[in-house]
Amino acid sequence: MVAPATDQVAATFGITSDVMIALTTSIFVLAYAFGPLFLGPLSEIYGRSRVLQLANLWYLAWNLGCGFAQTESQLLAFRFLAGLGGSAPLAIGGGVLGDCWRAEERGQAVALYSLAPLLGPVLGPVAGGWIAERSTWRWVFWSTSIVDGIIQILGVFFLQETFAPLLLERKAEKIRKSMDSEKGPHKDIRTVFESQDRTWQQIMRKSLIRPFALFAHEPIVQLLGVYMAYLYGTLYLFLTTIPTIFEGKYHQRVGISGLNYIALGVGLTGASQINARSLDKVYVYLKNRNGGVGRPEFRLPAMFPGTLLLPIGCLITGWSVQAEVHWIVPDIGIALVGAGTILNFQCIQTYVVDTFTLHAASALAAVSCLRSLAGFGFPLFAPVMYDKLGFGWGDTILAGAAIVIGCPAPWIFWHYGERIRNSSRYAK
C-alpha cells in the first residue's frame, strides 16, 4: 500500500535518492527472507496457531509504529520489524494446508491460499493511492493496522491448531493425566512422533536447523528457490515501477495511476481461478493413469504455460510503454505477467508441500528465503536499469532471463523429480 505514497514519504523526510525511495517499500520484503526461517520451524514445535497469532501481534505493533515514524531511519527499521511478523503466514500457511487436506484435495486449497499474498500487493496500492491522494501516507499504515486488529480478534476465536504431532502430544498428555495407577499397571503413552530420548531442546535444535539443512542439501529446494526468487523479484519490480510508468509516461494522477494495479490483479486472479479448478483434477487423472499412485510431479503441468506467459507479458509491457501507445496495452502485458507468475507459484508451492508434507513449513521457509531477497533487491536496481536501457530493452532482459531460468524448470522436475526426491533425507 505504501508504493503509491512513496513520493509523499520522500517529501516528508527529504529523501532524494531513488534507491532509498524504493527501499521504503521493499525493506518490508527483506524481512520475509529471514522471518520464515525461524517462524516455520517454531510452528513445528509450538504449533501453527500459537506462532501465527503471536507473529501477527508483533506485526500489528510495528506497523502501527510506522505511521508514527518521525525520521527515515525509524520508518525503515519499523518496516523491517513489521515484515518479520508479517512473514508468518507465508512460512506457516502451506504447512497448515498440508495438515488439513489430502494430496487429492490439496491443490485447490494451495491455489487459493497462494493467491492472497500476491493479490494483496495488487489491491494494496489501489487503496494506498487514494489514501495518499485524499489524506496522508501515515494513514496507509494506520488503516492496515485497524484491519489487522480485527483479524487478530477473529484469529483468537477461530484459528484452530492443525499440526498433527502437537495434537497427538496433547492427547497423549491428557491420557497420561487420566491414568490411575491403583486400577492397573502403568503404561508408557507416546505418539508415533516421539522417541524415548525426545526433549524440547533436541526438537528446538533440529527444527531451527532444518530450513538451512533443506536449502543446503536438497536440490529440489535449491532449484525451485532460484526460480521462485526470479518470479518474486520480477513481480515486485513491476509493483514498484507501475507508478513510474503511469504517472511519468502517461501523466495520470496518483489515484488513477494506482488503478492500473487492477490489471495485475486480473491476471493473478483469472489464472489462479482456472488453475485452482484444474490442479486437483489433473492430479487425479495422472494418478489414475499411474496405477493409482500419486506423485508430486503431477502438480507441474500448469507450469508449462506459466513459463511462457511471463516473458510474453514482459515484452508487451516494455515495448508498449517505450512506444507510449494506449495505456491498455501495457496493462494487458502486466496482466500476462501476473498470470504467468501465479501459475508458477501455485505449482511450485503445491509441489513442495506434497514432497515435504510433515516438514512443509520448513521447506517453504527455505524456498521463500531467496525469493524474498529477490523481492527486496529487484526494485532497487529497477530505476537505474530503466533509466539506462529504457522500458523496452529493460523488460526484454527480464523476458530473456525468464526464458533461460524458467522454461527448463518444469521439464527437469517432470523427468527427474522422482530421482531427486528418492535421494532426499526429508522427502519421505
| pLDDT tens-digit map of 391-405 | 999 999 989 988 888
What is the pTM (predicted TM-score) of this model? 0.75
Mean pLDDT of 182-196: 66
| pLDDT tens-digit map of 374-388 | 888 887 788 788 888
Degrees (nearest 5) of the Cα angle 95, 141, 365? 20
Q: How far apart are CA 236 and CA 225, in angstroms?
A: 16
CB 234 within 8 A of CB 310: yes
What does the block give as the cell for 125?
496500492
Checking if the pLDDT of 178 tops 90, the result is: no
N- to C-terminal Cα separation, the chain: 40
Q: How far apart are CA 368 and CA 32, in angstroms?
A: 8
State the pLDDT at residue 110. 75
Mean pLDDT of 349-371: 78
State the pLDDT at residue 370. 80
| pLDDT tens-digit map of 275-334 | 877 888 888 889 888 888 888 888 888 899 999 999 999 999 999 999 989 999 999 999
Per the model's pLDDT, the better-predicted residue between 18 and 138 turns out to be 138
Classify burial at 115, counting beta carbons within 10 Å of its beta carbon; exposed 0-12, middle 13-18, buried 19 or more: buried
pLDDT confidence bin for 201, thresholds 50/70/90: low
State the pLDDT at residue 197. 53
User: What does the chain come to in residues?
Assistant: 428
What letter does residue 189 receive in the DSSP assignment? Answer: -
Mean pLDDT in the chain?
84
> 57: which residues sit within 8 A by CB, 6+ positions away?
85, 152
State the pLDDT at residue 186. 63
Q: What is the dihedral sign for C-alpha 417, 408, 31, 159?
A: negative
Mean pLDDT of 200-209: 68
State the pLDDT at residue 195. 62
State the pLDDT at residue 138. 92
Q: How far apart are CA 300 and CA 307, in angstroms?
A: 11
State the pLDDT at residue 66. 93
Q: Which amino acid is at 272?
A: S
Per the model's pLDDT, the better-predicted residue between 238 and 187 turns out to be 238
Mean pLDDT of 119-129: 80
Using DSSP's 3-state secondary structure scheme, residue 425 falls into coil
Mean pLDDT of 338-356: 86
Q: Which amino acid is at 411?
A: W
Checking if the pLDDT of 196 tops 60, the result is: no
C-alpha pair distances (Å), 140 with each of 97, 265, 295: 31, 20, 44
Q: How far apart are CA 122 and CA 142, in angstroms?
A: 19
> 275: which residues sit within 8 A by CB, 6+ positions away?
111, 302, 342, 343, 346, 347
CB 24 within 8 A of CB 75: yes
Classify burial at 182, counting beta carbons within 10 Å of its beta carbon; exposed 0-12, middle 13-18, buried 19 or more: exposed
pLDDT confidence bin for 185, thresholds 50/70/90: low
